[in-house]
Amino acid sequence: MADVVHNVQQEFWKSPTLLEPVAESPLAPAAPEISAACAGCGTEFLIGARFCHACGQPRPRQSEGAVPVEADIWSRISAILSTSAAALTAAWRKIDFPDWLQYLHFHEIQRWVGLPTASFAAFLIGLGCIAGAIGVSLFYRASNLAEFEAIQMWRIEWLLAATASFVAGILLKKPSRD
């Protein structure tokens, strides 16, 4: 305990004892071509660091060196998807559809019914819910009272959803000025 120096301001990582300095062998700086190392002082960058923790120089960008494998894979996938989409679009435009098919477009039906977009979407959802209630009757058969009650509850739920959708369509409809 006699070797301890009292009342001396020092860094927290240095020992407060006055021991003989240990012969330190400095580590060889990492080669920049082997690992991500600072070009100024040669120390390795910490994981995810944008600056060197020893000298403060900024880390070189990834584009200056080799491209990471993940970026290369994603660029290949995006190139494949874009060429596939272009080929699919070109093939779709070559198909000759009948003329009556234009009357089945969403906005054509919307114009014919005379509803705004939100009300028309709610109307279609309500029709889908009614189709679901009818579909429950077609696909499920009751063989006892418990199954019958379950099927009736499904029908009730479908019809309740249709009612809510129709009410939402009515509330979303803008009042006419006539």
Confidence (pLDDT) at 25: 53
Report pLDDT for 43: 83
pTM of the model: 0.46
What are the Cα distances from residue 109, in Å, to 97, 115, 116, 165, 177? 18, 9, 11, 18, 22
Per-residue pLDDT of the chain (178 residues; tens, 9 = 90+): 555 566 656 555 655 555 555 555 555 554 444 347 787 787 887 877 878 888 888 887 765 455 556 667 888 888 899 999 999 999 888 888 888 888 888 888 888 888 888 999 999 999 999 999 999 988 888 889 999 999 999 999 999 999 999 999 999 888 777 6
For residue 52, count CB atoms less than 10 angstroms from its CB and return exposed for 0-12, middle for 13-18, buried for 19 or more: buried
pLDDT attached to residue 31: 46
- Per the CB < 8 A criterion, the answer to whether 29 and 41 are in contact is yes
Closest by alpha carbon to 59, among 39, 73, 30? 39
